[in-house]
Amino acid sequence: MTKKIEISSILNNSDSLVDLFNIRVNRNPNKKVFFKKQNGQWFPQSFSQTDINIKKIRNFFCKKNLRKGDRVFLLSTNRIEWVEFDIAIMSLGAVTVPSFVTNNLSDNKFIINDCKPKFIILENEKVFKKNKSILKNNNNKIILIESSEKFKNYESILKNFKTFDKKIKISSKDISSIIYTSGTTGNPKGVILSHQSIMHNLLGALDIMDEFLIDNERFISFLPLSHSYERMAGLYFPILIGAEIFFCTSMEKLLNEIKETRPTILSAVPRLYEGIFKKLKTQHKNSNSIISFFFKRVFIYASNKAKKLKLVDLLLAKIFIQLILKNKLRKSFGGKIKVFISGGAALNPEIGIFFNKVGLPLLQGYGQTEASPLISCNKKLLNNPKTVGTPVREVEVKISKKREILVRGKNLMLGYWKKSDLTKKTIVDGWLHTGDLGYLDNKGRIVIDGRKKDLIVTSGGDNISAQRIEYILMSYNEISQALIFGDNRPFLIALIELAQGYSINDIKNIINEVNTELNSIERIRKYLILDNELTYEKGFMTQTLKIKRKKVFDHYKKKIDKLYGIL
């Protein structure tokens, strides 16, 4: 039996994510699947040990009358216990409601009040203390993962409860989880995902990854499991293919732990790749003249200006990549990497082109939580970083007359929790209205060129996509974040967050240089240097690092008006 046939048979014989896990337990009971780091050492846990722990947690929940359809709020960083609670909850037909540990109190308060959970699982007493003010009258519902004298906890559950094997039938159309998306405006929306929708994603992911000859794969999990992207691509897909999953201890240690764990498949958001790309550009500037000479040619080769290179410079760039740069980059990721996946937000095409040109395959995908989340992804043999690839298996995509991307398939959500009117507006005649604008290229790949709500219409009636201009600005090391403003105004302005170590004096020349690449209506006439870092903690970003544009524009309204001469 080939690897793909074996994996496909697991999917075909599973009605739920719980079935998928149980089949792996039966086929590979002794396989070390999950790894946690303690005292500088990585400790493995097998499928069978994980299954024993899950059955004890199930027994606890049964004794506490957790029933099918009940919600369980889960607030923790990525760890083995997160997985065990998630599967135990779903195995009883209950619903996991994961949340981000970095959530502000108002978001967590809204989610808890909205979903009304039967239990509230928190990582530790530190997380409890942070959320104490919104947990009044809920103490009897609280379970801690780490040890606690005040609350029920994971360790005491494993110690005091036996395994529980009673079978509870879970249908593919039953709810797996409700994932709240913070969005760029208003309260979070609870996206209801079925087992079927996530497993449909796994089928699509298998098609994409099969081109890289799936074998003994290894992942490092660092994006929050509370996000639909990591829960599918970083947890249940690795379980499906029998891969190893190492749980990163902190973002500060990520790069070192990537080297230690040597992943073969790495899923990340664009910020990771952007950081690496900018770091290489800095090395180029600070290197000696010989290395700088080669780097310059490599950056031209790995850009849309490659045709300007002379043949000898092209050869020098390729030699430098093959002999030095490719190996150096591979070693920085542990040396075993097969492919990088970028998702969760838009990737600057320049960065995708660079990685692929230096021999490190980077596939950009596209999705939304409402699609569980996978909609499309580039493939190894049809990879163009200017696109987000072709729709995945059994997913239909069409472009509306207003250029909006519409999606149909088994991957779609069941709806928004307690928001039937919004559900009807979002899914119309079976088609998910994504709010993204784009088109299909001649090979059927999706090209996204803006968001409906982010499209700028100037007072002169010109329609301009801010995203393209922002990409160009943010390719400069000096610029950490950039936002383009100009809706109902006569010209565009840029709001710029300076990168650490740079000053306003560095920006004027950059603006002039960028304007040479833009059409006249797209050119930046004025700019504003932001005095606030655009972070989630300050309310300017969502959990997936998307900027809340309206929030930023409202915050700087007076300064923006001043640039337009409005007093």
Residue type, 400: S
Decide if 193 contacts 180 (C-beta within 8 A).
Answer: no
pLDDT of residue 362: 97
Mean pLDDT (whole number) for 256-284: 90
How far is residue 507's CA from residue 512's CA, in Å, rounded to a whole number? 9
Separation in Å, CA 114 to CA 34, 73, 189, 431: 33, 11, 10, 26
- The model's confidence at residue 303, banded by pLDDT at 50, 70 and 90, is confident
Average pLDDT, the chain: 92
Q: At residue 439, does pLDDT exceed 70? A: yes
Least confident of 38-42, 81-85, 516-520: 516-520
Cα three-residue angle 505-511-514, rounded to 5 degrees: 145
Mean pLDDT (whole number) for 76-105: 95
pTM of the model: 0.88
Q: Which residues are within 8 A (CB) of 547 and not within 5 positions of it... i.e. 6 or more apart?
A: 184, 481, 483, 534, 540, 541
Q: What Rg value do the Cα atoms of the chain yield, rounded?
A: 24
Q: At residue 119, does pLDDT exceed 50? A: yes
Q: Which residues are within 8 A (CB) of 314 and not within 5 positions of it... i.e. 6 or more apart?
A: 297, 301, 306
pLDDT of residue 566: 62
**Highest-scoring range by mean pLDDT, 369-378, 476-485, 520-529:** 369-378
- The model's confidence at residue 3, banded by pLDDT at 50, 70 and 90, is confident
Mean pLDDT (whole number) for 95-115: 93
How far is residue 242's CA from residue 239's CA, in Å, rounded to a whole number? 5
Consecutive H or E run containing 127:
helix 125-131
Residue in the structure block whose two tokens are 């060129």:
449
**Quick check: helix, strand or coil at residue 565?**
coil
Cα three-residue angle 544-549-553, rounded to 5 degrees: 150
pLDDT of residue 65: 95
Cα three-residue angle 275-473-361, rounded to 5 degrees: 45
Q: At residue 150, does pLDDT exceed 60? A: yes
How far is residue 498's CA from residue 9's CA, in Å, rounded to a whole number? 52
pLDDT of residue 183: 60
φ, ψ dihedrals at 440, nearest 5°: -105, 135
pLDDT of residue 185: 58
How far is residue 195's CA from residue 231's CA, in Å, rounded to a whole number? 12
Q: At residue 1, does pLDDT exceed 60? A: no
pLDDT per residue as tens digits for the range 152-202: 999 999 999 998 777 788 999 999 999 998 765 578 899 999 999 999 999
Q: At residue 567, does pLDDT exceed 50? A: no
Tell me the two tokens of residue 361: 């395959």
Tell me the two tokens of residue 524: 């930046």
pLDDT per residue as tens digits for the range 497-510: 998 888 888 899 99
Compute how many other C-beta atoms are within 10 angstroms of the C-beta atom of residue 4: 15
pLDDT per residue as tens digits for the range 441-473: 999 999 998 777 777 878 777 778 888 899 889
Q: What share of the chain is helix, strand, coil (3-state, %, to 5)?
A: 40, 25, 35
Identify which of 200, 203, 181, 199 has the alpha carbon closest to the alpha carbon of residue 190. 181
Identify which of 360, 369, 333 has the alpha carbon closest to the alpha carbon of residue 233. 369
Q: At residue 380, does pLDDT exceed 50? A: yes
Decide if 446 contacts 438 (C-beta within 8 A).
Answer: yes
Mean pLDDT (whole number) for 23-43: 97
Residue in the structure block whose two tokens are 């990737």:
347
Q: At residue 292, does pLDDT exceed 90? A: no
Tell me the two tokens of residue 153: 């906890």
Mean pLDDT (whole number) for 276-295: 83
Task: Please spell the DSSP secondary structure of 63-87, one letter per residue.
Answer: HTT--TT-EEEEE--S-HHHHHHHH
Cis amide bond preceding 373, omega within 30: yes
Q: At residue 420, does pLDDT exceed 50? A: yes
Mean pLDDT (whole number) for 265-294: 85
- The model's confidence at residue 104, banded by pLDDT at 50, 70 and 90, is confident
Burial class of residue 451 (count of CB atoms within 10 Å of its CB; 0-12, 13-18, 19+): buried
Alpha-carbon dihedral sign for residues 361, 200, 9, 89 = positive
